[in-house]
Structure formats: structure tokens, C-alpha cells
Amino acid sequence: MAMIDHNTTLGDLNDLDRDNFDNLMRNAKTYRFETPKEAQNFMGVCVDKALRKCGVKINPSMDGHRIGRLMTSRQAKVEHRVYDDKEEYDLCNRTGKTPYQTGLYIYSRKEIAAFVSSPFRHNGLVQMPGIYVRTTVPKVMA
């Protein structure tokens, strides 16, 4: 990672974030599910696995305050971002970067460590039934 100091601009941070996302998405896989509930459960497994890799092990008995302290101490963060797909694809067609997608961005020490998309329907030439989730979390069984 490049050094971030007081001379770093928001544009520099955006470029670093996009470069990290490009690199991370090279290993992304898309999983298909029959129902939205199955897709949501899969997302939970992915987030848990990614956070454990960042040193954050959340137990069901933990309250929100304790989880927040644990995340802060491990320098981990989870962001839910929503993007306009058309706008992102237009931007990325001009720049050659990977388009951001709506979903959960998991950060470790201010760098993207993992991505888990929100459930979506396939929008290709051939309409495939089902709900899909795209993730960079490795070796997750659907």
C-alpha cells in the first residue's frame, strides 16, 4: 500500500481503493441460490469468514458495543455501499477499472480485504433463474 500522509487527497484515496478492489475482484466467484434467504445466509457465512481472517471473531452472545470495540481494536470495518450499476459500468468503460458493486466491503487496516455482493438477479443475454451472490471470500461452500 502506498503511504497515506497529510498530502494525500480524496482522489488519491479513491485511486488506491479502486486499485485494491480491481486486484481483489480477480479472484471473485459468483454463487447461485434458489431463494433470497439462502443467499442471505451465504452472505452471513462469507462476512463471518472474512472478519475472522481480519482477527474479528463474533460470538452470538456479544452485544453491539462489544463488537464495535473488537472491530476497532482489530482495525476492521464493514461498509454497505449502494451503487448505480449503469453509472458504474459507464465510468469503468472509460477508465478500464472494475466497477464497484452494491454490497458489503470489508476493510482491514484501511484496505479492502473482502467483498460480498448484495443478492442480485442475473442480467445477461440468457435469463438464468435464481438469486446470485458474488464474493472474494475464498473457499466458501454454497
Domain count along the chain: 1
More confident residue, 141 or 97: 97
Q: Does any domain span residue 114?
A: yes
The answer to whether 135 and 31 have CB atoms below 8 angstroms apart is: yes
Mean pLDDT of all residues belonging to the chain: 87
Helix (H) or strand (E) holding 18: helix 10-25
In a domain, residue 9? The reply is no
Does 72 score more than 60 pLDDT? yes
Contacts of 89 (CB under 8 A, 6+ apart): 99
Of the ranges 30-39, 98-107, 120-129, which one carries the lowest mean pLDDT score? 120-129
103-134 core/surface letters (b: 16 or more CB in 10 A; e: else): bbbbbbeeebbbbbbbbbeeeeeeeeeebbbb
pLDDT of res. 126:
67
Tell me whether residue 2 is in a domain. Answer: no
* Residue 112, domain member (yes or no): yes
pTM for the full model? 0.83
Task: With respect to residue 62, please indicate whether it lies within any of the assigned structural domains.
Answer: yes
Alpha-carbon distances of 125 from 59, 100, 129, 134, 140, rounded to whole Å: 43, 21, 12, 19, 27
In a domain, 44, yes or no: yes
**pLDDT confidence bin for 1, thresholds 50/70/90:** very low
Query: Above 80 in pLDDT, residue 7?
Result: no
Residue 43 in any domain: the answer is yes
Q: What's the pLDDT tens digit per position in 21-57?
A: 888 999 999 999 999 999 999 999 999 999 999 999 9
Q: Is residue 75 part of a domain?
A: yes
Local confidence band at 110 (pLDDT 50, 70, 90 cut-offs)? confident
Range of the domain at 67: 21-135
